[in-house]
Structure 1
Amino acid sequence: MRTRATILVPLFVFLLIVLLHAGEGEALTYQISVPLTPGAEVQATLPDGRVFVLGKVVGLPTATRWPSYTASKWAEAGTVAASAVNAIHLTLAVEKGEGQTMSILPLQTVAPAAGDKAFITVDVPAGTALFGGWAPPVGTRVTVKKENGDTLPLRDRGLPAQGEVLLFQVEEEDRPYIIDIENRPGGRVLGWYAQGPRVLARVIHPIRGVGRFDGTIFQGIGRLRA
Structure 2
Amino acid sequence: MKTKILLAEDDPDFGMILKQYLELEDFEVSWFQNPEDVVELLSSDFPFQIAILDVMMPNIDGFSLAKMILKEKNNFPILFLTAKNQKIDRLTGLKIGADDYIAKPCDPEELVLRIKNILKRISPPITEIQIKIGQYLLDTQKLSLSHPDGNVRLTVREQELLLYLLKHNHSMITRDNILDNLWETNDYFTGRSLDVFISRLRKYFSNDPEVKIQSLRGIGFEVDFPTN
| Greater helix proportion | 2
TM-score scaled to structure 1, two decimals?
Answer: 0.25
- Bigger strand share: 1
Q: TM-score if structure 2 supplies the norm length?
A: 0.25
Higher-RCO chain (CA-CA 8 Å, sequence separation at least 6) = 1
